[in-house]
């Protein structure tokens, strides 16, 4: 997923219906400090399925986010429930940028 573009996860290539289901499910997971969901913030960078397992790459808005373990586990658990597959999650090293936010979301913060 690139800044200011719609979702573009690897899962969408072969399983576009699953991508939409995950997007809706991930909208239920909120960053408790910011009050926006992980899709609005652009935290889920990729979702893929290989060999009957799902893998998620997710970033945080700050390097030492105190809620990172809870957000990562909530995301992994939600994906596993939706997909019905064993799911792993990795915290990506990419630095979050406000341009990753869903279009229109940054306006609430006065960013765009």
Domains and CATH numbers, the chain: 11-100 (3.30.300.130)
Residue 109 has a CB neighbour count (10 Å cut-off) of 11
Q: Check whether 24 has a pLDDT greater than 90.
A: yes
Residue 8 — very low, low, confident or very high, per pLDDT cuts 50/70/90? confident
| Residues 43-55, mean pLDDT to the nearest whole number | 95
| This prediction's pTM | 0.88
Q: Check whether 89 has a pLDDT greater than 80.
A: yes
Three-state DSSP at 84 gives: coil
Q: Check whether 60 has a pLDDT greater than 70.
A: yes
If one compares 17 and 107, the residue with the highest pLDDT of the two is 17
C-alpha distances (whole Å) from 44 to each of 41, 100, 110 are 8, 10, 23
């Amino acid at each position: 997923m690139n800044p200011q573009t719609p979702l573009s996860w690897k899962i969408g290539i072969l399983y576009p219906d699953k991508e939409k289901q995950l997007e809706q499910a991930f909208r239920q997971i909120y960053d408790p400090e910011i009050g926006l969901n992980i899709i609005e913030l652009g935290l889920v960078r990729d979702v893929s399925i290989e060999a009957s397992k799902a893998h998620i790459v997710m970033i945080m808005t700050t390097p030492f986010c105190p809620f990172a373990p809870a957000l990562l586990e909530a995301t992994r658990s939600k994906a596993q429930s939706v997909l019905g597959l064993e799911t792993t999650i990795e915290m990506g090293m990419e630095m979050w940028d406000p341009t990753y936010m869903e279009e229109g979301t940054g306006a609430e913060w006065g960013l765009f």
